[in-house]
């Protein structure tokens, strides 16, 4: 719940400060305040902001806004890596050089962490082809065994691979 506080400025005009404090498990999870010239503006902002923070991940987004992965790694290095080994230090420094390190933590999605794949790769094309042909039990193994290739060239149909390629 937000608190609206009326304040008198030096020039005797009034301003209204809306303060939002969110508690989780008995601890302060997030505090935010903003000052407005009118009370209605302060109330409106507080309501809107409370709804944003109530959404899943809202408090986390507010906490990490503007912080890049590089900033987080740098802080981790300063606070926790005093006695770290050479390999860990090198790994952390390597992570900081990736383009991902320049992105804001609050804007990252799970897809940013998954190993990138090429959509035109043979494995994904194989999966699409077997799905299009309604073949659900055929697996792709690279490299193709020579006996399958030889059987296909000879027109033999003794293997599953030969039967499919000859069709």
pLDDT of residue 167: 46
Same domain? 75 vs 97: yes
pLDDT of residue 59: 81
- pLDDT, tens digit, 9 for 90 and up, residues 113-137: 665 556 567 677 777 777 888 877 7
Q: What would the mean pLDDT of 14-37 be, rounded to a whole number?
A: 90
Same domain? 102 vs 141: no
Same domain? 91 vs 127: no
Question: Is 78 within the bounds of a domain?
Answer: yes
Where does 8-121 have alpha helices with state H? 39-54, 58-64, 69-80, 86-97
pLDDT at 164 over 60: no
Q: What range does the domain containing 149 cover?
A: 122-166
> 58: pLDDT confidence band, cut at 50, 70 and 90?
confident
Selected residue with higher pLDDT from 59 and 121: 59
Same domain? 44 vs 12: yes
Same domain? 42 vs 84: no
pTM strictly above 0.75: no
Question: Is 144 within the bounds of a domain?
Answer: yes
State how far the Cα of 108 lies from the Cα of 112, in Å rounded to an integer: 6
Question: Is 87 within the bounds of a domain?
Answer: yes
Same domain? 92 vs 108: yes
Same domain? 77 vs 102: yes
pLDDT of residue 83: 85
Question: Is 117 within the bounds of a domain?
Answer: no
Q: Of 38-42, 50-54, 73-77, 159-163, which gets the smallest average pLDDT?
A: 159-163
What is the domain count for the chain?
3
């Amino acid at each position: 719940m937000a608190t609206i506080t009326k304040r008198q400025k030096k020039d005797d005009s009034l301003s209204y400060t809306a303060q939002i404090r969110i508690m989780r498990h008995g601890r302060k999870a997030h505090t935010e305040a903003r000052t407005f010239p009118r009370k209605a503006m302060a109330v409106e902002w507080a309501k809107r902001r409370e709804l944003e923070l109530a959404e899943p991940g809202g408090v986390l987004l507010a906490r990490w806004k503007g912080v890049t992965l590089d900033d987080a790694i740098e802080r981790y290095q300063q606070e926790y890596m005093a006695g770290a080994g050479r390999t860990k230090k090198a790994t952390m420094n390597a992570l900081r050089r990736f383009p991902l390190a320049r992105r804001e933590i609050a804007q990252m999605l799970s897809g940013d962490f998954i190993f990138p794949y090429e959509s035109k790769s043979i494995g994904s094309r194989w999966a699409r082809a077997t799905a299009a042909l309604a073949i659900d039990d055929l697996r792709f193994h690279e490299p193709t065994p020579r006996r399958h290739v030889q059987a296909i060239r000879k027109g033999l149909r003794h293997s599953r691979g030969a039967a499919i390629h000859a069709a």
